[in-house]
Amino acid sequence: MIVFSVGFASASLGGEIEKGTMELLLSQPVTRRSVVLERYLFFLLALAALVIATLIPVVLGAPIAGGHVSIAGVAALSLQAFLFFAAVGSYSVFFAAISSTRSRAIFASVAVAIVSYALDVLAKLNNFVSNFHFLSLFYYYDPFRYLHSASYAWGDLTVLTAISVFSLTAAVLWFNHRDIAC
8 Å CB contact between 17 and 100: yes
pLDDT for the residue 51: 93
- Of residues 30 and 20, the one with the higher pLDDT is 30
Average pLDDT on 136-149 reads 81
Compute the distance between CA of residue 138 and CA of residue 156 in angstroms, rounded to an integer. 10
pLDDT over 90, % of the chain = 48
8 Å CB contact between 164 and 87: yes
In angstroms, how far apart are the furthest CA atoms of the chain? Answer: 58
Q: Pick the closest to residue 98 from 182, 2, 9 (CA basis).
A: 182
Handedness of CA 109, 111, 116, 120 (dihedral sign): positive
On the question of pLDDT at 181 being above 60, the answer is no
Compute the distance between CA of residue 118 and CA of residue 89 in angstroms, rounded to an integer. 19
Query: For the chain, how far is it from start to end, CA to CA, in angstroms?
Result: 30
8 Å CB contact between 164 and 141: no
Average pLDDT on 4-30 reads 74
On the question of pLDDT at 58 being above 80, the answer is yes
Average pLDDT on 93-122 reads 91
Compute the distance between CA of residue 89 and CA of residue 50 in angstroms, rounded to an integer. 13
Average pLDDT on 87-106 reads 89
Compute the distance between CA of residue 12 and CA of residue 3 in angstroms, rounded to an integer. 14
On the question of pLDDT at 76 being above 90, the answer is no
> Which of 13-22, 52-61, 86-95, 96-105 is the most confident on average?
86-95
On the question of pLDDT at 147 being above 70, the answer is no
Compute the distance between CA of residue 36 and CA of residue 12 in angstroms, rounded to an integer. 8
- Of residues 149 and 119, the one with the higher pLDDT is 119
